């Protein structure tokens, strides 16, 4: 019974994903996520870079990872950074950061989020300031998207830190 229900749900998602309005809803519901790693060897006060591939849950339901053909005017609407391992890592150990999104080969890179004033007592989760001045239509049509985070540390860590970056997007149906 559960397998049949799962199959029907999956078939419905695949069928409805061909509709522009449905693609808009799906892309807006499932954020792009990336795991960013800050090594314990990173020094304080100097710019460092972390690079990762981002993906969205809905990409798993398509043949080539691209189901955004019928949406346009794609922009970032939210950005959040939270500690994953260790879960209690204080993101306030990071003084500032910028987040860039690009094609898998690094081309067409645009800044999508920034945070210049991270409080030293921020805790394990922060919301970033978004930069939605760029349309990301071509980027979200890619099967893989590269995320680059440039950061400066306020305090060095004792262990490598894994952070989860979530980028929510908004779009309009393509005419």
Question: Tens of pLDDT along 68-106?
Answer: 555 667 888 999 999 999 999 999 999 999 999 999 999
Task: Tell me the average pLDDT across 110-131.
Answer: 94
Q: What is the per-residue pLDDT for 174?
A: 62
Q: What is the per-residue pLDDT for 142?
A: 81
Task: Tell me the average pLDDT across 62-73.
Answer: 55
Looking at the structure of the chain, the number of domains it has is 1
Show the CA angle centred on residue 130, arms to residues 95 and 144, nearest 5°.
100
Question: Is residue 37 predicted with pLDDT exceeding 80?
Answer: yes
Question: Is residue 150 predicted with pLDDT exceeding 90?
Answer: yes
Q: What is the per-residue pLDDT for 92?
A: 95
Q: Residue for token digits 């393509």?
A: 174
The residue segments making up the domain with residue 82 are: 2-173
Residue 10, domain CATH: 2.60.120
Burial label for 68, CB within 10 Å (0-12, 13-18, 19+), is buried
Structure-model confidence comparison of residues 107 and 142, the more confident one: 107
Q: What is the per-residue pLDDT for 116?
A: 93
pTM: 0.77
Q: What is the per-residue pLDDT for 84?
A: 95
Q: What is the per-residue pLDDT for 63?
A: 39
Q: What is the per-residue pLDDT for 132?
A: 83
* Nearest 10 degrees: Cα torsion 12, 26, 60, 55: 180
């Amino acid at each position: 019974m559960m397998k049949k229900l799962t199959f029907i749900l999956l078939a419905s998602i695949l069928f409805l994903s061909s509709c522009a309005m449905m693609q808009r809803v799906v892309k807006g519901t499932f954020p792009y996520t990336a795991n960013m790693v800050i090594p314990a060897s990173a020094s304080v006060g100097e710019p460092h870079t972390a690079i990762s591939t981002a993906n969205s849950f809905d990409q798993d339901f398509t043949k080539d990872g691209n189901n955004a053909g019928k949406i346009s005017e794609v922009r970032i609407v939210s950005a959040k950074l939270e500690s994953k391992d260790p879960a209690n890592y204080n993101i306030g150990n990071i003084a500032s950061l910028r987040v860039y999104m690009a094609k898998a080969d690094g081309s067409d890179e645009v800044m999508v989020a920034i945070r210049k004033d991270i409080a030293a007592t921020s805790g394990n989760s922060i919301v970033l300031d978004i930069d939605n001045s760029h349309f990301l239509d071509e980027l979200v049509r890619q099967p893989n998207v590269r995320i680059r985070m440039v950061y400066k540390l306020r305090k060095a860590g004792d262990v490598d830190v894994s952070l989860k970056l979530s980028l929510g997007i908004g779009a309009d149906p393509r005419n």
